[in-house]
Structure 1
Amino acid sequence: MKNNQSTKSQQKLSFFFKLLNWYSDQLFIARIMAIISVLNFGVVIFDLTYIPLRDIWLNGKVTVGKIKIASHEFNGITFKILPQSLREKIIKYDAIKGIEPYRDTQEYLEEVKRLEKSINQSGLDSEETAKILYNLREMSASMISEDPFRIANKSGTLEIIKNRMREHMSIYIDNPRDSSTVAFTSFWTKNHLKNNNLERQLTFFNKQIKPLIRTNFFRPMGENGQFVDYFGLIDFPFIVIIFYDFILRCLFISIRYEGVKIQDAILWRWYDLIFFLPTFRWLRIIPIIIRLDEAKLLDSKRIKKQLSKGFVAQIAGDITQVVILRIVNQVQKTIEKGEIEKILFKEEDRREYINLNNVNETAEIIKILMNLVAYEMLPEIRPEVEILLTYIFEKTITESPIYQNINYLPLLKNFPQDISNKLATQSYQIFLNTINNMLKEDLIFEQHLEQIINKSVKIMSLRPNAKYDINKIEELLVILLEEVKVNYIQQLSEEDIEALMKN
């Protein structure tokens, strides 16, 4: 009986593992989850931008090019981008953000509606209209002094309202202090409306002032000290789906790879944890890009390549600068310690020079340079050198006193040019042969070369002013290296970085 139960349990586990393996390997499931993640991010972006863009959703208008420089103001161009039916649907999102109409500004607009109704029914001279105008003057003064826009962080909107009313009333009243309160209270008077085209004045208010007052709102505070926000109700279903997908994939990783525990699998998919952060929701773009790449809906190779190039280029620049600076600094210190002088002027108390390979590097370097000159450079420049030598020989012959005395002879007219060409060709060939013979493997030649080098150093060291000259050279080399650091190494230009990134 127990064996049967154990067998059934194993079969269930085996079926679960197969189902888990199938789920994790299906590309279409990865694509569905990637699309769900993108939709969630779209909702997040809309939520984050809703309040900053609420004025657009409310009025459906965007003004481009409106700027103010000193006393000059450019109104710009206003575009109507959303139909009213769509705006009314979008603005219902106020309920999610806990936004309510601000009581004072809402009552202000309601009072204006009552004024328009009273004028249509009773006219401007009625007592009811007079009472409403009085209320509007009182409410205007209160709005300006108390700033009901402050709670919604829209005090700037109130300043725009005040500026527009001051500018509008400047042609109708004398307002020496440029008071916005005087402008508003003068606007809401029977004489002003009656004497200055009632319909025009109300149109100004409805088009220029009312849309701005409508943008004000009130957001209550929650018990956590933050504004009321019900976005979590929209976000929660997405997070539940993504969470289950995350758990299943972590289980799959821990089962497929031996020795990987569930907590290690969670770290394996660390980027999905960003979905579950209560704040900084915009960071979800990171796991979304990775999921889109895994689902083959986005090729992130180019992005990764550019990011890695920028990183590598910057690090390469920094490392190169540091390494070269250290090398130059070490060379400077070596020169400042007088190592050149110690090499040229052997002192008895100087520590023995350590030869690592029993090879005279100086002689080898000279041989390499001579090989380069003999086999690469000299054959290439031979025509030019021969022309120069011909010119030198010809000039020497024609300017010699002997030739000056016999140059009138016809047979000697072309003598300088002919002999110069032969001398130049033969001289250059002899020089090349000599160099080639010198470069052949010859131990005796190497011994002579080493003797020449050693004797040259000795002769240099025996000169009366040798030490002074060497010290001067060391001093100049130190300054030269410092200039190299300042002018080249420490100023690794942006062009060098860009060149690295293009490769």
Structure 2
Amino acid sequence: MLGWDRFVAVWASVNLLWVAFDITYVPLRTFWLQRNLYPIPSVPLVVPLTVIPDVTPLVDPIKGIEPHRETQAYLEQFRQLDAALLTLPAGQAPQPRQVLLLNRQAQLTAQLIDSNPFLASEASGTLEKIKNRLRQRADRDSARLASSLLLSPERIRTSGWSQERRFWNDQVLPLVATNYWRSIDENGRPTDHFWRIDLLLFQSVFVLDILLRLIRLRRRLPGLSWGDALLRRWSDLPLLLPFWRWLRLVPVLERLQTSGLVNFEPLRAVVSRGVVALLAVELFEVLSLQILDGTQGLIRSRRWPQRLRALRSHQSVASSSDERALVELVRIWAPLLLSRVAPKLAPELQGLLGYSLRQSLERTVVPAPLRQLQPLLQVETGISRQLASGMVDSLLELSRSTGNQLSRRDDVQLDLLQRFIDRFWEELAAALESGSALERSQELLCTLIDGAKGTYLSQINRAGIEALIQELDQLMTAPGPASPEDPATPAP
């Protein structure tokens, strides 16, 4: 199946090129007809691309494009004039038949300027180019007067037909030849038979490929229905749409990536990194503001005491298995803190308590005149150290025994803990109801959150997308610690 996937990926790429050519053919028909490139529009610099074949005879019928009658008559009349004047010697006045052809060509030029047949192809700018070149050639302000002067017998006699012929063939007739007429269908839209080629050569292959992919998906996931499988392949839908055909770029890139023909992962990573950074900042700002506003709403609520009382076990709406979750958490953490963490802090507690006792003895027990005696200070320091050590040892022993007792599962102990926690919530709610602490606490907390809004969110904006991307690049490209299996790491 890998060969089939690669064929479809290549065929879809060809279809994407064909779609791009079809979409741009009408606007770029002048280029495909003349195969000339104008790098600077305001400068008459032409780069001929004759290596490109003329595809207009093949594509014009598909798009319903036909030669315009008026401009074709103009070109045909000029060919007759050119054939008649080629035999005219330089410096000789034109013959009566040649003068008649010159007058006829001047009349057609004036008619071309007045009727503007380029409106049918929405190329009125082409007519303006023709008029500007006629004015520059004859040095006149009127294009009609300039065309009459350039096609006059006196001009042909003095300048010679070879020079004038070069001007018309190089500057005017190629622009006239770009005009066309496009037919319309029964729906009033321009004729376009592209869908027939697309349906026969490309979409039929895409339908078969999508069907095979659905079959493989259902084999991999037997419980998946056809509808769900089709929804999972939603990215293939643009391949079958007759409109918005530029969306086919998505499934084409997906097929090129999955078939292994092209690796778009580095490009996807770069693009997604920028998009994610941009969206992350915007999304985080919105979420942060919503969280802060919601927190302020909870803080301003007058139901704080009721919510605290609702935390009691007999007011909780939790299930029976979760009613004593807080008690179980206390039973687990209390032994951990009292039996393991607190004994490790004995030196620090002794130092802190000894310093406090020494300061108390200096202020209350030892008179000021005796504080300068060094032996008395040493005795004082020893006494405070022994008292601190004894007190800490007693506290730690009590903490250790309490932790060991709490680590044992005891129903009476759990009931006492539960009663303690319930009493705590009740007394806290009563304290908030009786005084002004609730309103003052609400005001202070809301003020702190308002300050966070004004500083933190503004700092996010000032950080900028580029700083985030640079930080991410530094994190992604930072060298990690060498692993033992790394062949570049020298052996010990």
Task: With the length of structure 1 as denominator, give the TM-score of the two structures.
Answer: 0.61
- Structure 1 residues 486 and 267: CA distance shift in structure 2, 3 A: closer
Q: Deviations over 1:25-56 (max 9, x none)?
A: x2111111211111222222222222222222
Aligned 1:208-357 pairs, distance under 5 A: 208-235=171-198, 236-326=200-290
CA contact (8 A) 2:6 2:256 kept: yes
- Structure 1 residues 476 and 256: CA distance shift in structure 2, 3 A: closer
Aligned to 2:126: 157
Aligned to 2:53: 87
In structure 1, how many angstroms separate the alpha carbons of the residues matched to 2:153 and 2:393? 118
Counterpart secondary structure, 1:493? helix
Pairing 1:494–2:465 present:
yes
- Structure 1 residues 353 and 290: CA distance shift in structure 2, 3 A: closer
Counterpart secondary structure, 2:284? helix
Counterpart secondary structure, 1:95? coil
- Aligned amino acid, residue 59 of structure 2: Y
Q: Which of 72, 86, 99 is matched with 2:65 structurally?
A: 99
- Structure 1 residues 252 and 108: CA distance shift in structure 2, 3 A: same
Q: Deviations over 1:105-153 (max 9, x none)?
A: 1111111111111113467522221221222122111111111111111
Counterpart secondary structure, 1:87? coil
Counterpart secondary structure, 2:285? helix
Pairing 1:78–2:41 present:
no
User: Offset of 1:331 from its aligned partner?
Assistant: 8.4
- Structure 1 residues 285 and 487: CA distance shift in structure 2, 3 A: closer
Pairing 1:142–2:105 present:
no
In structure 2, how many angstroms separate the alpha carbons of the residues matched to 1:288 and 1:314? 26
Q: Deviations over 1:170-196 (max 9, x none)?
A: 1xxxx4xx2222222222211122223
User: Offset of 1:333 from its aligned partner?
Assistant: 8.6
- Structure 1 residues 59 and 481: CA distance shift in structure 2, 3 A: same
- Aligned amino acid, residue 61 of structure 2: A
Pairing 1:49–2:24 present:
yes
Aligned 1:297-446 pairs, distance under 5 A: 297-326=261-290
User: Offset of 1:278 from its aligned partner?
Assistant: 0.9
Alignment size in residue pairs: 367
Aligned to 2:35: 60
> Identity over aligned residues, as a percent?
29
In structure 2, how many angstroms separate the alpha carbons of the residues matched to 1:327 and 1:239? 50
In structure 1, how many angstroms separate the alpha carbons of the residues matched to 2:393 and 2:287? 38
In structure 2, how many angstroms separate the alpha carbons of the residues matched to 1:300 and 1:267? 24
- Structure 1 residues 353 and 253: CA distance shift in structure 2, 3 A: closer
In structure 2, how many angstroms separate the alpha carbons of the residues matched to 1:269 and 1:164? 56
- Aligned amino acid, residue 124 of structure 2: S
In structure 2, how many angstroms separate the alpha carbons of the residues matched to 1:497 and 1:490? 11
In structure 2, how many angstroms separate the alpha carbons of the residues matched to 1:96 and 1:162? 32
- Aligned amino acid, residue 130 of structure 1: V
- Structure 1 residues 281 and 488: CA distance shift in structure 2, 3 A: same
Q: Deviations over 1:385-404 (max 9, x none)?
A: xxxxxxxxxxxxxxxxxxxx
Aligned to 1:127: 96
Pairing 1:203–2:166 present:
yes
- Aligned amino acid, residue 466 of structure 2: E
- Structure 1 residues 230 and 475: CA distance shift in structure 2, 3 A: closer
In structure 1, how many angstroms separate the alpha carbons of the residues matched to 2:393 and 2:447? 38
- Structure 1 residues 152 and 501: CA distance shift in structure 2, 3 A: farther
In structure 2, how many angstroms separate the alpha carbons of the residues matched to 1:353 and 1:247? 58
CA contact (8 A) 2:285 2:457 kept: no
User: Offset of 1:160 from its aligned partner?
Assistant: 0.9
In structure 2, how many angstroms separate the alpha carbons of the residues matched to 1:474 and 1:96? 73
In structure 2, how many angstroms separate the alpha carbons of the residues matched to 1:351 and 1:272? 58
CA contact (8 A) 2:85 2:161 kept: no
Aligned to 1:461: none
In structure 2, how many angstroms separate the alpha carbons of the residues matched to 1:281 and 1:334? 52
CA contact (8 A) 1:325 1:485 kept: no
Counterpart secondary structure, 1:226? coil
User: Offset of 1:483 from its aligned partner?
Assistant: 4.8
User: Offset of 1:161 from its aligned partner?
Assistant: 0.9
CA contact (8 A) 2:94 2:157 kept: no
- Aligned amino acid, residue 181 of structure 2: F
Counterpart secondary structure, 1:66? coil
CA contact (8 A) 2:296 2:446 kept: no
In structure 2, how many angstroms separate the alpha carbons of the residues matched to 1:309 and 1:106? 56
- Structure 1 residues 31 and 104: CA distance shift in structure 2, 3 A: same
- Aligned amino acid, residue 209 of structure 1: V
- Structure 1 residues 233 and 483: CA distance shift in structure 2, 3 A: closer
- Aligned amino acid, residue 30 of structure 1: D
Aligned to 1:32: 7
Q: Which moved more, 1:50-59 or 1:480-489?
A: 480-489
User: Offset of 1:216 from its aligned partner?
Assistant: 0.9
- Structure 1 residues 201 and 44: CA distance shift in structure 2, 3 A: same
User: Could you say what the CA RMSD is over the residues aligned between the two structures, in angstroms?
Assistant: 4.5
In structure 1, how many angstroms separate the alpha carbons of the residues matched to 2:76 and 2:120? 21
Aligned to 1:420: none
CA contact (8 A) 2:214 2:229 kept: yes
In structure 2, how many angstroms separate the alpha carbons of the residues matched to 1:250 and 1:282? 24
Structure 1 unaligned spans of 5+: 1-25, 68-74, 340-349, 360-374, 376-432, 445-469
In structure 2, how many angstroms separate the alpha carbons of the residues matched to 1:247 and 1:482? 54
